[in-house]
Amino acid sequence: MTGKYRAVQYGCGPIGCSVARLAAQRADIELVGAIDIDPDKVGRDLGEVIGLDRRLGVTVSDDAAAVLAQARPDVVFLTTGSSLKKIFGQLTEIVKAGANVVSTAEELAFPWRKEPELSAEIDRLAREHGVTVLATGVNPGFLMDTWPLAMTAVCQEVRQIRVSRIQDACPRRLPFQKKIGAGCTLEEFQSLVDAGTLRHVGLAESIAMIAAGLGWELDEITDEIEPIIAETEVKSPYLTVKPGQAAGVKQTGHGIKNGKEVITLDFQAYCGARESYDAVYITGTPDMEVVIRGGTHGDIATAAMVLNSVCRVVAAPPGLATMKDIPLVICTAGQG
Amino acid sequence: MTGKYRAVQYGCGPIGCSVARLAAQRADIELVGAIDIDPDKVGRDLGEVIGLDRRLGVTVSDDAAAVLAQARPDVVFLTTGSSLKKIFGQLTEIVKAGANVVSTAEELAFPWRKEPELSAEIDRLAREHGVTVLATGVNPGFLMDTWPLAMTAVCQEVRQIRVSRIQDACPRRLPFQKKIGAGCTLEEFQSLVDAGTLRHVGLAESIAMIAAGLGWELDEITDEIEPIIAETEVKSPYLTVKPGQAAGVKQTGHGIKNGKEVITLDFQAYCGARESYDAVYITGTPDMEVVIRGGTHGDIATAAMVLNSVCRVVAAPPGLATMKDIPLVICTAGQG
């Protein structure tokens, strides 16, 4: 590739904006279109919408078909939602327009287990139109699937795998603290769980990807959510968690094979965690313990994963791709 | 792939034996031939040569051409040496026989910078014969190239990268301790360096692979070797290092770009290291620090990398491949 990749930003919410901001910095990307349905964004320059101090000469439009037809992108960054069913129509429209897709939709990261028919349909359409579809991000997309799988390369045998992502929410923004239920009573916390707003989406997809990578047939995948209850008062710059209140959330995913738990994903985000870190623990030959000290900044990493995947997606054979099967994604900001 | 991969073990030294032992355990591999020139091994059953308590029905032969013609392997494990020039004849013979190659030859891990003509010739021959050639192992092949590159996926920018591999030699076998100069006077240490027997081969290849992955043009790659001098007496089960003697070796590789060191590989193996670990330090957006606690067992990991790469190599497009461009290598012992 000598020229730039022509890219359309589809979805200008918080994640889409962070992807587009990074895209605007990259020498290998030319933003050629932007799509969103929010009337406050439609008709404005993308540079302004994503908070740059310069115009990009790209107007946000709510007419996806027109943008795709006029912009003729190499790749579309699809960041409109988490649910495969909800983005399916948008996705197929892009594929039929002949553009590759890099999406942050969590359920698209490894949809083969939960949605085999939809997955097969996306794969078929992508092949028919000669394009590649990939979903990626920090989690799912890296920390709880690609990274642990990459570490197994040096193992002669893997019997069990556990991944922990522990985030101290205190330094994070208020919306993040609210999202994880910090400062809620246990009743309020349960209401958020019941409403489905507190759930991290993607544990099941990550477990399915790990299992597929290792060649394991799982009996079932389950997960549960519980509050992490403050024992002492915890203060963040934005709120105070009283003893007995929820300091945040612990969500645990389980992959069961022959009745035994072989994959455990442990996701914790709460105010007052002693340290943030990500860790992979492999039981096998040999055992391994790998730690990202200080953890991984989710918003930075998700945008990075999207942009760093572009060259791999464009070069990949047509179809529905997953992170476990494309070549190593590398920071390509220094390329081009 | 439903059947097994037919594999020939070419080179039955310590690394070749560890590769063949692992291959003999794997459900997805059938060992169909073995090549070595050592008269003590030729004519014996491979199972006996590699220390199994069972025969494999494969006789070690010194006639490579005959083995390749009769065994018709899908893949050959080429573990006869480190030097690209020395293995070049063996490699081309395998390629011309139509077999894929997974080698542990350090200089083949990323030969494009130091040996561009030989690399192009291997690539051309491999394409002509429809096979793929890859060299891998723990180092080069993973710890100081593939692994740090994989971690950059979550970075928006990488400005500098440093990898440390720190090994406490005390629990290792005597040959390893001798190899790293433990217990030598500084004069003896220098003689080993001058004789070339103390050098770890592969730092330059790992640096070149990292640079190519990140899209960096390097001015130069250098490295130097020095003794780690014992300050106090250190005892291993096998030997005693007196104060002032070499406790082991420190070898450092440098990748220079626009006059600035952007890649540093720090390899230390000595008796008395407080702990063994491998670590990646990235300076960029964000900074990252990733640690393999307790380090990575070299012999286990190299055999694992070879076997885990087989399915990727067989499926890869023909040519000279490197770890940075093939799909994620995963522990595939549970497959097949």
Structure confidence by residue, pLDDT tens digits, A258-316: 999 999 999 999 999 999 999 999 999 999 999 999 999 998 999 999 999 999 999 99
Q: Which two tokens stand for residue B31?
A: 């060992």
Q: Residues near B283 by Cβ (< 8 Å), separated by ≥ 6?
A: B158, B159, B160, B161, B162
Mean pLDDT of chain B: 96
Instruction: Transcribe B109-172 into DSSP letters.
Output: SSTTTT-HHHHHHHHHHHHHTT-EEEE--STTTTTTTHHHHHHGGG-SEEEEEEEEEEEE-TTS
pLDDT score recorded for residue A172: 87
Q: Which two tokens stand for residue B123?
A: 């690539």
Integer angstrom CA distances of residue A106 from A134, A293, B20: 11, 25, 41
pLDDT score of B1 more than 60: no
What ipTM was predicted for this assembly? 0.97
Q: Min CA distance, A113 vs chain B (Å)?
A: 17
B331 CB neighbours in chain A (<8 A) are 152-153, 155-158, 214, 284
First and final CA of chain B: distance in angstroms? 8
B138 CB neighbours in chain A (<8 A) are 154
- Is the Cβ pair A288, B305 closer than 8 Å? no
Residue of B nearest to A299 (CA): B154
Alpha helix (H) residue ranges in A97-185? 116-128, 146-151, 174-179
The CATH number that domain A146-295 falls under is 3.30.360
- Is the Cβ pair A213, B324 closer than 8 Å? no
Question: 10 Å Cβ neighbour count for B35?
Answer: 28
Q: Min CA distance, A65 vs chain B (Å)?
A: 30
Nearest CB among B146, B152, B304 relative to A156 is that of: B304
Q: B153 and chain A: CB distance < 8 Å anywhere?
A: yes
Residues B274 and A314: their CA atoms lie apart, in Å, by 46
pLDDT score recorded for residue B175: 87
Mean per-residue pLDDT, B62-69: 98
Which residues sit opposite B29 in a β-bridge?
Answer: B5
Q: In percent, how much of chain B has pLDDT > 90? A: 94
A333 CB neighbours in chain B (<8 A) are 155-158
Cβ A322 vs Cβ A134: under 8 Å: yes
Q: B281 and chain A: CB distance < 8 Å anywhere?
A: no
Nearest CB among B25, B152, B285 relative to A330 is that of: B152
Which residues sit opposite B255 in a β-bridge?
Answer: B221, B263
Q: Strands A157-168, A260-270: parallel, antiparallel or unpaired by DSSP?
A: parallel
Specify whether domain B5-137+299-320 bears CATH 3.40.50.720. Answer: yes
Q: B300 and chain A: CB distance < 8 Å anywhere?
A: yes
Q: Which of B19, B28, B151, B154 to mutate to test the interface with A (most CBs of A within 10 A)?
A: B154
Cβ B152 vs Cβ B282: under 8 Å: yes
Instruction: Delimit the domains of chain A by residue range.
Output: 5-137+299-320, 146-295
Residues B118 and B206: their CA atoms lie apart, in Å, by 18
Q: B39 and chain A: CB distance < 8 Å anywhere?
A: no
Q: Which of A21, A143, A152, A156 to mutate to test the interface with B (most CBs of B within 10 A)?
A: A156
Q: What is the pLDDT of residues B313-336, one digit of tens each?
A: 999 999 999 999 999 999 999 875
- Is the Cβ pair B215, A291 closer than 8 Å? no
Question: 10 Å Cβ neighbour count for A187?
Answer: 8
Q: A257 and chain B: CB distance < 8 Å anywhere?
A: no
Closest CA relative to residue B102, chosen from B294, B268, B302: B302
pLDDT score recorded for residue A318: 98
Q: Which two tokens stand for residue B96?
A: 């011309």
Cβ A290 vs Cβ A151: under 8 Å: yes
Q: A82 and chain B: CB distance < 8 Å anywhere?
A: no
Cβ B282 vs Cβ A284: under 8 Å: no
pLDDT score of A248 more than 70: yes
pLDDT score of A336 more than 60: no
Residue of A nearest to B284 (CA): A331
Nearest CB among B146, B291, B336 relative to A328 is that of: B146
pLDDT score of A1 more than 70: no
Q: A330 and chain B: CB distance < 8 Å anywhere?
A: yes
Q: How many CA atoms are closer than 13 Å to the CA of A331, on its beta-carbon side?
A: 31
pLDDT score of B260 more than 60: yes
A327 CB neighbours in chain B (<8 A) are 324-328
Task: Find the helix or strand (DSSP H, E) in which A257 lies.
Answer: strand A246-257
Mean per-residue pLDDT, B65-83: 97
- Is the Cβ pair A153, B305 closer than 8 Å? yes
The structure's pTM equals 0.97
Q: Could you give phi then psi for residue B224, rounded to 5 degrees? A: -140, 155
Read off the pLDDT band of B2 (50, 70, 90).
Answer: low
Q: Which two tokens stand for residue A128?
A: 């028919």
Q: Answer whether the bond into residue A286 is a cis peptide, omega within 30°.
A: yes
Residue of A nearest to B335 (CA): A215
Q: Could you give phi then psi for residue A54, rounded to 5 degrees? A: -140, 155
